Amino acid sequence: MNTGELLIFLALAVPLFAAAAIYAVGRMPDVRETLTIIACIALSVITISMFMRVGAGDPPTLTVARPLAGLEIAFRLEPLGALFALMASLLWGVNSLFSVGYMRGKREANQTRFYMCFALAMFAVMGIAMAANLFTLFIFYEVLTFSTYPLVTHTGDARARAAGRVYLATLVGASLVLFLPGIIGVQIVAGSTAFTQGGLLPGRVDATTGDILLLLLVFGAAKAALMPLHGWLPSAMVAPAPVSALLHAVAVVKAGVFAILKVSAYIFGPDLISTLPAATWLLWIAAGTIVIASVIAMTKDDLKSRLAWSTVGQLAYVTSAALLPAAAGLVAGGLHMLVHAFAKITLFMCAGAIYVATGASKVSEMRGLGRSMPIVFSCFLIGALCVIGLPPFAGMWSKFLLIKAAFGTREWFTAAAMVISSLLGLLYLAPVALRACWSRLAMDRHAPSSVRRRARTGCCGADDHSCSMCRAVPAGGWRRQLSCANRGEGAMSEGTQDVAPKEKPQLGEPGEHPLSVLLFSWMRGKLFFRLLMAGLSALGAVLIALEVVLSHRPVTSLVNMPGFFGIFGFLAFGIAVLSGWPFGKLMRRPEDYYDTRSGEAGRDR
């Protein structure tokens, strides 16, 4: 056994052993959780070293068993799988740390089973990531399903059990009815299910068989939640937050899209995919999934449910990427899988943290929480922006690559769906954090205008330190006023009375600034106005006269006529101003026009 094979073996053995050990020490929570963390670290080290080795020399292969003639349980390390394994193991560590806090914070029951199943799920993920053929992948794919079932039903109440049933029925149903026949079909057609560079099937299938196999395999991987097999994902939201993170980020759904990526890359190969009509149909379905899931996500008030629908949409991105008839799509898909994993786990952990800390699970309950949980909501915002695909966050790159690949292969629907979904993503994800942070006063829409005005000045920082900052300002009269405003109590609304300048001016009105006296005081009164008018008229006359004298242009048109600009200016100004009367009548509405009858464009989410 050389190093590569040893690494493969260890990657499988560590989580499996960890699961057994966790079960053994289940009575001692501290030991159990320490064990989990140690296993996470060990696995991360292993996957990192695997990742470093990828591409150097022959890929290490480890054959474990040959159950039937022609069938092998075998593992091989290739870049996509190494990436997946690395991602999953790193996130396992993160998630385990989070779990410790969450599970203890919520005093959940059956924690040993939780940690054990988690480790088993990681075992399955490692198997999926390193599978050398479809058969092996399928085996571990199923192991993953079963090892996560107890996690989904963790709370054990009726809702959880119902969700668990949907979970199992969908995943197992799809894999039995679709995935398995598809794999066996591949086995019959090609005599093997080994993942082959450039594709196993090219040259071995006709278009119809290829279509059928592709449909079977893509829909069969129901973990990818391609519509209409997506229902299990939102319903699995009843599970505790760490489990949701596992489902959505670390393992389960990623295993689905990973399977599709592998099938596309190594069973069909981009060349064959590009000739199959089924790939196009699937792309449409994926595009539809992207948009519909995003729209549904917008309607959800429950945060985790919203995130779940978001996942459905994001997974369809990867599915699309896998089905784009270009190798570039695969790269984009792999990257998006990775990026989405990190972003989604952030979001779910934030949701979990909010829930543990405040008990709020609905978006509408989170207004103003950003004040007390700034870090959590900042993280949420970052995760959201990453999912949406905005710079400077990683989601930008995968999304750009995807859109580019879609354009490159002239799949307009896919590209359009991705663009639209980004926008919808903005609408349903970003406001969660934004509103929590900045919408505290949104309720004050009908508050007295003094309060609103005070708010408008932007000096209403509720926390102490903004006050102290104001006090720290070295000098200047405005400091006093600001501090007043900060202390609140409507000081600002009566600002004019409050601000009584200290100095007593000699000239002009009481309180007037000397400069004002100097510059402007003589302007007051009707006399000045008349004089100015006369002066301006005179100036205008002079200007026209000057133009007549100086202009050597012949008067060939209206424009060349002396005084044209003056007359035009007069008329234009007059028209512009006078238009204010009718237009004002027509278009002016009361100030609270948009605020009445919930007239705001959509409730702020």
Partner 1 sequence: MTVDRLLDLAATINPGFYLIIAALPAAVARDAFTRAVALIGGPVLGLLAMLYPPVSGADVSRQLFLGFELSLYRSDSLSLIFGLGFVLAAVLGGIYSMHRRDRLQDAAGLVYAGAALGAIFAGDLITLVLFAELATLASALVVFAARTGPAYRAGLRFLTIQIIAGLLLTAGAALYGVEKGTFLIAELGGLWNGLIVGIIDPTSAGGMLILAGVGIKAAFPLVHNWLTDAYPNTTETGAVVLSPYTTTMAVYLLARFFAGYDPLIWIGAAMTIYPVFFAVMENDLRKVLAYSTNNQIGFMVCAVGIGSTLSINGAAAHAVAHIVFKGLLFMAMGAIQLRLGTTKASELGGLHRTMPWTALACLVGAASISALPFFAGYTSKTMIMTAAESGPGMFVVWLMLLFASAGVLEHSGIKIPFMAFFSHDSGKRPEEAPYNMLLAMGLSAGLCLIIGLYPGWFYQLLPFRDQAQEFLVQDLFSLSHILQQLQLLTFAVLAFMVLWWFGLYPPEKPGVILDVEWIWRKGAPMLGRALSKPARAGGRFVSVLTSSAIGGIQKASRQVFAADGLVSRKLPLSATAILALCILGVVMLFSMFR
Partner 2 sequence: MIAFETLHAAPPALTAHAPLLMVVAPLIAACAAALAPSARVSWMISVTGSVFAAWMALAVAGEVARRGVVDYVIGGFAPPLGIALHIDGLGVMVALLVSSAGVMASLYSGHSLTTEVGAEKHTLVQSGFLLCQTGLLGLVATGDAFNAFVFLEVSSIGTYALVAIGEKRDRRALPAAFNYLIMGTIGATFYVIGIGFLYAATGTLNMADMAARLATLDDSSVVQAGFAFVVVGLGIKAAMFPLHGWLPGAYSYAPSLISIFLAATATKTSIYLMARFVFDVFPYGAAFGQAFVTWVLAPLAATGAIVCSLQAVFEKEIRRILAFSSVAQVGFILLGLSLATVGGASAGLFYLGAHALIKITLFMALGGVALSLGARRLGEFAGVAREAPWSATAFAIGAASLAGVPLTLGFLAKWRLIEAALQAGAIWVVVVLAIASLLTFLYVGRMLEAIFFRAAPAGAPRAREAPVGVLAPLWVLAGLNIWFGLDASLPEQLANSAARALLGAAP
Does 470 contact partner 1 by CB under 8 A? yes
Query: Shortest gap between Cβ of 3 and partner 1 (angstroms)?
Result: 30
* Options 13, 48, 71, 379; binder of partner 2; rule CB under 8 A: 71
Cβ neighbours of 121 (radius 10 Å): 29
Q: For residues 510-539, which are near partner 1 according to CB under 8 A?
A: 511-513, 515-516, 518-520, 523, 529, 532-533, 536-537, 539
Residues in the chain: 605
Cβ of residue 355: shortest distance to partner 2, in angstroms? 24
Amino acid identity, position 484: C
Which of 2, 34, 372, 579: binder of partner 1 (CB under 8 A)?
Answer: 579
Range in contact with partner 1 (rule: CB under 8 A) among 14-22, 208-216, 280-288, 396-404? 396-404
Q: How far is CA 183 from CA 138, 155, 208, 319, 439, in A?
A: 8, 35, 16, 18, 52
Tokens of 400: 């750009």
User: Residues near 48 by Cβ (< 8 Å), separated by ≥ 6?
Assistant: 86
Q: Which of 70, 203, 461, 525 binds partner 1 (CB under 8 A)?
A: 461
Minimum Å distance from CB 493 to partner 1?
8
What is the Rg, in whole angstroms, of the alpha carbon atoms belonging to the chain? 34
Please report, as residue ranges, which positions from 56 to 75 form the binding site for partner 1 (by CB under 8 A): none
Tokens for 248?
Answer: 């959505």
Q: What are the backbone angles phi and psi of residue 227, rounded to the nearest 5°?
A: -60, 145
Query: Taking contact as CB under 8 A, which single stretch among the options 52-60, 71-79, 104-112, 437-445 is the one that binds partner 1?
Result: 437-445
The interface mask with partner 2, positions 187-206, x = CB under 8 A, is: xx------------------
**How many Å apart are CA 131 and CA 81, to the nearest integer?**
8
User: Taking contact as CB under 8 A, which single stretch among the options 49-57, 111-119, 312-320, 388-396 is the one that binds partner 1?
Assistant: 388-396
Name which of residues 276 to 335 contact partner 1 (CB under 8 A).
331, 335
For 6, 7, 44, 333, 344, the CA distances from 247, given in Å and listed in that order, are: 28, 25, 19, 18, 10
One residue of 53, 106, 161, 204 binding partner 2 per CB under 8 A: 161
| Residue located via tokens 């030991």 | 31
Could you tell me the maximum CA-CA distance found in the chain, to the nearest angstrom? 111
CB 351 within 8 A of CB 370: no
**Cβ neighbours around 300 below 10 Å, total:** 20
Of residues 123-152, which lie at the interface with partner 2 (CB under 8 A)?
138-140, 142-143, 146, 150
**Which backbone phi and psi does 324 adopt, to 5 degrees?**
-65, 135
Q: Is 80 in the site for partner 1 (CB under 8 A)?
A: no
The interface partner of residue 589, options being partner 1, partner 2, none and the CB cut-off 5 to 8 Å by kind, is partner 1
Residue 117 contacts partner 1 per CB under 8 A: no
How many residues bind partner 2 (CB under 8 A)? The answer is 31
Residue 67 or 79 with smaller CB distance to partner 2: 67
Does 61 sit near partner 2 (CB under 8 A)?
no
Work out whether strand 61-65 and strand 73-76 pair parallel, antiparallel, or are unpaired: antiparallel
The binder of 188, among partner 2, partner 1, none, by C-beta within 5 to 8 A per type, is: partner 2
Q: Count the neighbouring beta carbons within 10 Å of the beta carbon of residue 352.
A: 26
Catalog residues that contact partner 2 under the rule CB under 8 A. 64-69, 71, 73, 138-140, 142-143, 146, 150, 153, 156, 161, 165, 168-169, 172-173, 176-177, 180-181, 184-185, 187-188
